[in-house]
Structure 1
Amino acid sequence: MPTGSAEDASAAALLNLEMAMLWDGDDHGRLHHGAHYVALGVADDGLTAAVGAAVPDPLAAELADLAVLPRGGPECAPPTTILRCARLLRGRLGPVEVSGGPSYLVPPGVRAESTARVVRSTDGAGTGALRGANPGTWADGEWHALLDGRFGPWAAAVDGERVVALCCTPVFSDRAAEAGVWTRPSHRGRGHAASVTAHWASAFGSDGRRLFYSTSAANTASQRVAERLGLRRLGWIWKVSRPGEQGSHVERTWGPPAIG
């Protein structure tokens, strides 16, 4: 389990923790989720890099040599380092895609409210009223599994009988968890996304996981949610992936964090 304050941890170390959670990273800088060839976490205080386990060792060593901290240039543009990695991978393995976006730390006690009532996964019997409120973005079986807690903590904003925003836990590890946020198009811009994210974070209680919120470079609406919550921006995570698999991450069965 993590020790010390998440706010005191270096941004690069926290990006490394998030990358390991998202793509099953090990202590040797390899990612065991097959969608991504290389991932790069760029923070003001350092850089963290990991290479896909399926990448042959000689090529992995070449990619590691390219992983140097970029200087200057807009954050929203791919750094030279990741473009060089993509060029090398494209020449050896074929087509690849580059993607990236900012990552934020969700601190304990973050707060935000909106006009909608919020139901959390920790509300017990109160979650039963949502059985028939699937917003249409989940298969029925998955929706019931979410409400039963099989996918981890969640928080939903409810307007009347409709779910208008939801923050859930699409990916997690023993040490970290990632926020996944959806808002009904007709209810965007009203603070619901920030509210459910804050309530989602509170649903974790004191289980010790670091909580992350990340998005893509193009998703300025999600970036505004992070700003509204006052989240600490850690830096940007860039990756070179198999075509069409930029958003892929590991899937795990929910459970309490391991002890020790």
Structure 2
Amino acid sequence: MGVAADGMTAAVRHDVPGALTARLLDLVARGDPSTPCQPPEVLEQCRVLLGETTTVSSGPCYLIPPSPVPFDAPAAGVLRSDDPAHAERVRSLRPCTWARDEWDDLLDGRDGAPWAMVVADDQVAAICHTARLTTAGAEAGVWTAPAFRGRGLAAATTATWADLLPGTRLFYSTSADNHSSQRVAARLGLRAIGWLWKLTR
């Protein structure tokens, strides 16, 4: 559920039964938005419909401007998916958080492209890839290896990723408790546009 000052919207997974989907979307359509960080009243109604075992998570959503605040790239530079040599450079450096087939799909442009990465000490230190891509826009997916956090690598890869998608509406979202990710948004001068609420059962 996306909540902004001027309204709400929602999306439901494809495997949720049709009647339940219709009830959830109708509730959201008739609900009133809330202020950031505060759950809208309709959220609890949706949670009850989904069942007592439903968990709720949330966080801010940002709009990435066409030209994010310039951020100095690390000395090694940022690798980009539009250079085939860069994909081969990182093929053998798959982070343990990525399954082998997912990594190959990313590097071969089948899923998650475009992307930007930083390599340091012969390992992938940071990645920004395309977590979602539709005709309405794209969402950044950002990951930084624990040993390299706090060095500005997430901001550098996100700014490079944004350059790879000219003319596309770009979004960046994170969880409420991920303060380091929120600092990335601040470093890049991203504009907060709302709050995302996710219900999972």
TM-score by length of 1: 0.67
Question: Can you list the C-alpha shifts for 1:112-166, whole angstroms capped at 9, x where unaligned?
Answer: 2242421000123233211211122222232222112112200001114221000
Contact 2:62 2:194 (8 Å CA) reproduced:
yes
Contact 1:165 1:184 (8 Å CA) reproduced:
yes
User: Which amino acid in structure 1 is aligned with residue 188 of structure 2?
Assistant: L
C-alpha separation in 2, matches of 1:128 and 1:65:
47
Which of 123, 127, 131 is equivalent to 2:87? 127
User: Which amino acid in structure 2 is aligned with residue 95 of structure 1?
Assistant: T
Question: Can you list the C-alpha shifts for 1:185-214, whole angstroms capped at 9, x where unaligned?
Answer: 01100100000011111112x3x3211100
- Match status 1:165 vs 2:129: no
CA-CA distance at 1:76 after TM superposition: 2.5
User: Which amino acid in structure 2 is aligned with residue 54 of structure 1?
Assistant: P
| 2:17 equivalent in structure 1 | 54
Question: Can you list the C-alpha shifts for 1:1-36, whole angstroms capped at 9, x where unaligned?
Answer: xxxxxxxxxxxxxxxxxxxxxxxxxxxxxxxxxxxx
| 1:108 equivalent in structure 2 | 66
Contact 1:66 1:85 (8 Å CA) reproduced:
no
Equivalenced residue count is 194
| 2:117 equivalent in structure 1 | 156
C-alpha separation in 2, matches of 1:187 and 1:63:
43
| 1:240 equivalent in structure 2 | 199
TM-score by length of 2: 0.85
1:1-260 matches, cutoff 5 A: 39=1, 41-44=2-5, 46-50=6-10, 52=12, 54=17, 56=19, 59-60=23-24, 63-64=27-28, 67-70=31-34, 75-87=36-48, 89-90=49-50, 93-110=51-68, 111-115=70-74, 116-151=76-111, 152-204=113-165, 206=166, 208-241=167-200, 243=201
Contact 1:105 1:231 (8 Å CA) reproduced:
yes
CA-CA distance at 1:65 after TM superposition: 6.6
- Go from structure 1 to structure 2 and tell me whether the alpha carbon gap of 1:194 and 1:79 turns closer, same or farther (over 3 Å shift): same
Superposed CA RMSD in Å reads 2.3
Determine helix, strand or coil for the equivalent of 1:132. Answer: helix
User: Which amino acid in structure 2 is aligned with residue 132 of structure 1?
Assistant: S
Contact 1:167 1:181 (8 Å CA) reproduced:
yes
User: Which amino acid in structure 2 is aligned with residue 109 of structure 1?
Assistant: S
Unaligned runs of 5+ in 2: none
C-alpha separation in 2, matches of 1:197 and 1:51:
25
Shifted more, 135-144 versus 169-178: the winner is 135-144
User: Which amino acid in structure 2 is aligned with residue 127 of structure 1?
Assistant: A
C-alpha separation in 2, matches of 1:62 and 1:178:
26
C-alpha separation in 1, matches of 2:64 and 2:25:
34
- Go from structure 1 to structure 2 and tell me whether the alpha carbon gap of 1:64 and 1:234 turns closer, same or farther (over 3 Å shift): closer
Unaligned runs of 5+ in 1: 1-38, 244-260
Shifted more, 59-68 versus 75-84: the winner is 59-68
- Go from structure 1 to structure 2 and tell me whether the alpha carbon gap of 1:66 and 1:124 turns closer, same or farther (over 3 Å shift): same
The percentage of counterpart residues that share the same residue type is 44
